[in-house]
Amino acid sequence: MTAGRTRVDAKRLINFSTKALQKLGVPEEDAQITARLLVATDLRGVESHGVAHLNRFYARWIRSGVINATPKPKIFSQAPSTATMDGDRGLGFVIGHRAMMEAMQRAEKTGAGFIAVRNSTHFGAAAGYAMMALEHDMIGIAMTNTIAGVIAPESTKPAVGTNPLAVAVPAGKKTPFVLDMATSVVAGGKLEIARREGTSIPEGWVVDKEGGPVTDPKKRVRGEGGLLPLGGTPKLGGYKGFGLGVLVDILTGVLSGSSAGIIWVNTRENGGLGSGDHFFGALRIDSFLPVENFKKSMDEMIDAFEALPTLPGVKKIYVAGGPEAEIEKDRKANGIPLNPKVIQDLQDLAREVGIEYDL
């Protein structure tokens, strides 16, 4: 943890964020949904997608009219397990939450539910939606497209977004499996953090327009070079990360009736929004096998991974979601350590919308 941070209570942060969003014209329930998802992300240590964006992204976009604070999303369904949704440019959190609920309702009835969403906006971290499935004993899936920042293998220009995909799977006594990964080597948010903290980035994350390595996160200019896809160079499997990024573009953009990111970015007036289309899925575990058998088997698997031998100096092998669960435990007990720049941003927001900064 960087020095100079201040621990802030999660519940107070949710209340503060809810009030600020309400002042911006978001209905109370929608404001609560959004605030909870944002703060849940900070609790899990994913600071690139939490309240740091509240003023910088969401408040600004609501004020400028890019985000519709009172959307009327529409569902189009031709079959019991699937549907598309038009998000009416609502807050991505509100639309995402609604769509994931729809996917789970379909899984409740048929075993599987899948919703492709167009015309939404930036929805924060994908894990929040996938994790909604956990308490229902379902496997949850969430993906979103984002503005192109990732270079296709052997090209020089960004072609797909960091296009994250998240999958959450319940366990028994063990921490749930929660994989939330950009399909690039790193998420754009990690560059944002490096810029905010003034640190350099490792070789292999970003290349310039000649394909050479970039280690200064401030040097990156959109349209010239960009992030590498997961895998990195073609020889080490970069085409796989790129393929996963294209797959996310297909399921979010093409299948929802929007379009693939590479088209979307060039043609759609998106007012600077980082993402617009999503894909959500739910699989009901007890439609495959008894939930208790499944959870027992998950626990055995996680125990076996955690018992693996480690390289010297490494304490423990983690399964996806494990490190975030440990951070969450600490932050629930001791508060979320906010960066001074984020606190400044929230104080500015409080002043602008006319609420007290009481964190």
Out of 2, 70, 215, 293, name the contact with a copy of itself by CB under 8 A: 293
Residues 229-248 that bind a copy of itself (CB under 8 A): 230-232, 235-237, 239-244, 246-247
Q: How far is the CB of 109 from a copy of itself (least distance, A)?
A: 8
Say if CB 179 and CB 198 are below 8 A apart: no
H or E element: which one contains 169? Answer: strand 165-169
Nearer residue to a copy of itself within complex by CB, 239 or 326? 239
Specify burial of residue 323 (Cβ count, 10 A radius: 0-12, 13-18, 19+).
Answer: middle
Residue 25 tokens read as: 């014209």
Assess 308 for contact with a copy of itself (CB under 8 A): yes
Assess 350 for contact with a copy of itself (CB under 8 A): no
Q: How far is the CB of 230 from a copy of itself (least distance, A)?
A: 5
What is the rounded distance in angstroms from the CA atom of residue 77 to the CA atom of residue 200? 48
Say if CB 346 and CB 16 are below 8 A apart: yes
Say if CB 92 and CB 75 are below 8 A apart: no
Residues 164-193 that bind a copy of itself (CB under 8 A): 167, 169, 177, 179, 181, 185-186
What is the rounded distance in angstroms from the CA atom of residue 144 to the CA atom of residue 148? 12
Residues 101-120 that bind a copy of itself (CB under 8 A): 109-114, 116
Assess 298 for contact with a copy of itself (CB under 8 A): yes
Out of 25, 27, 213, 257, name the contact with a copy of itself by CB under 8 A: 257
Tokens 């229902």 -> residue: 136
Q: How far is the CB of 305 from a copy of itself (least distance, A)?
A: 6
Region label for 273, one of left (φ > 0), alpha (ψ between -120 and 50) or beta (otherwise): beta
Nearer residue to a copy of itself within complex by CB, 6 or 75? 75
Stretch that binds a copy of itself, among 27-35, 41-49, 72-80, 343-351 (CB under 8 A): 72-80
